[in-house]
Amino acid sequence: MHDACGVVGISLNETANGAAKSIYYSLYALQHRGQEAAGISVHDGKSIRTHRAMGLVSEVFDDAQIALLRGHVGIGHVRYATSGRSCIENSQPLLVKYKDGAIATAHNGNLVNSTQLREQLEEAGDIFYSTSDTEVIAHIFVKELLHYDLLEAARSLMRRIVGSYSLVFLWGDTVLALRDPLGIKPLCIGEIDSGFMVASESVAIDTLNGKLIRDVKPGELIVIRNGEMKSYQLARSTRPAHCIFEYIYFARPDSIMDGRLIYDVRVNIGSNLAREHPACADTVTPIPDSGITLAVGYHQRSGISYRECLMKNRYIGRTFIMPDQNMRETAVRLKMNTIRPNIEGHKLILVDDSIVRGTTSRRIVNMVRKAGAKEVHVRIGSPPILAPCYLGIDMASRDELIAAHKTVAGVEAVIEADSLGYVSHEGLVDAVGIPKENLCMGCLTGLYPVQIPGEKCLAEQTRLSEYLDSDS
C-alpha cells in the first residue's frame, strides 16, 4: 500500500514575496503522502512559474531554485502515482495554457471516469502531455472558464468529474481549492502570517506556525486572493464519505481531521483491538512506523508491557531494486531490523495497521521468530481488506489481496503467526467517532460511495450532480 498525494495552496498579501519558501516547508510536512515527485507553481505578477521534478522535496528544491520562484501566491504538490505512470510528465502542478492565460493544477485523489473524459477531449482536439487524470481535470476546467464565471465553471467541472478529489488551482494571482461532494479526500484551511492557506493535512499549517481554521467542506470552493479568503458551497451532501484509511494509516498522527486528532483515533483503534482480540503474551510491540500509535492503545487497554522490538531504517533509498528472493529478504532487513534482547524468550503481540498481500507480514513474523520470540500474535488495526481502492489509494488488485481469498485462519497460516486478530468494523467506526454511513469503507466492504463499473455501490450516492446547488 502506498500513500496518497499531498497538496498545498498559499496566498499572502501583496507586500509579501515568500510563497515558494512557505510552500516548500509545507510540502516537507506532507512528504509522507508522496515520495515520487514534488513541484511548486507561483505567480510572479505576470505569469505562472513552475518547478517540478522526480524525487523527494529535498532532492527537487534547493535555495537557488526557491529564490527563482518569486511571488506571493502559489500551490505545491507531492506525488505518489495513483493514476498515470511514475514519470516527470505526470508530476505536479500541471500547467495548462489557454487563450486567457494559464492555470496550474494539483490534485489528491482519483477519477473513476478519467478514461472516458480523456477520450471525449481528445476527439475534440485536445492534446495531452501526461497520462494523469489531473491534466483531464485542468483541460475541462479551462474550457468551463472560457464559457462561464468562476462559480458556474466550478459547478460544471464537478458535474463532469466522478471520483475523489481535493484540488488546488493557481489561476492568475488567485488560489482556488475544491473538495469533492463526498469529501473523500482531506483538505483543510489555515491562517498564517500575512494570509491564508489550504493543505491536505493540518500539519502543513503547523509547520508555518499557522492556525487551523477548519476542514474544507465537501462540495466547497475556497477562493484566496491577496491574503483574503472567500467560501462558496457549490454542492451539499447529507452523507459524506471520508476515506477510512486516512484515519488508519495515511494521515500523520499529529494531524487533525474533522475535529479529531489522528493520534487519539489510532490509540482508540488499538484499545478496541485489545478488547476484541486479547492474547496471552508479555510484550506489545509495533511494526514501525504505522503500528506505533495502535500499539500504544493496545498496551494501555491490555496492561501488557510496551517494548520496541523492531527498528526502522528511515534512510533507505526509494528505488531499491529487488531482482530475486534473496535480495527481497535483504531489502526487508535493510528497511527493518530486530532488537534481539527485547525479543528473545518473549511472547509478542505484533501490531500493524493492515495486511495487504501478506508477504511482508510473513517476513517480519519470521524475523522476530529467528530473533528468539517464543510466540508471535499479530494484531491488525483495520478489518480485512477485501476489495481494491478506486478513489486515490494505490492498494493492490483484488487477486493480490490475501483477505479477499482466505479466511482469517487462512491468513494466519500464511503469515505463520500463532494467532491473528483484526479490529472489527464496529470497533474501527467507534474509534474514529464518525458514523459508518459517513465513511468510505469500500476496500473493507466492497461497497463504494460512487458508481464504479463492475462494483457494488451505495445507490443514493451515485449521482453526485444531484448535490450541486444552482444558486449558491
pLDDT in tens, 67-80: 999 999 999 999 87
Residue 55: pLDDT over 80: yes
What are the grid coordinates assigned to 316, written together? 533507505
Give the predicted TM-score (pTM) of the model: 0.92
Q: 16 burial class (0-12, 13-18, 19+ CB within 10 angstroms)? A: middle
List pLDDT tens digits, range 376-418: 999 999 999 999 999 987 777 899 999 999 999 999 999 999 9
Question: How far is Cα 472 from Cα 470, in angstroms, rounded to an integer?
Answer: 6
What are the grid coordinates assigned to 356, written together? 495487504
Catalytic status, residue 440:
no
User: Per 3-state DSSP, what percentage of the chain is helix, strand, and coil (rounded to 5)?
Assistant: 35, 25, 40
> Rounded to the nearest 5 degrees, what angle is found at the Cα of 82, between the Cα atoms of 388 and 238?
65
The mean pLDDT value of the chain amounts to 91
- Across 294-312, average pLDDT: 97
Mind listing the domains of the chain with CATH numbers? 6-241 (3.60.20.10), 264-433+441-445 (3.40.50.2020)
pLDDT at 462: 47
Of the chain, the percentage scoring pLDDT greater than 70 comes to 91
Question: How far is Cα 134 from Cα 325, in angstroms, rounded to an integer?
Answer: 36
Q: How many CB atoms lie within 10 A of CB 350?
A: 28
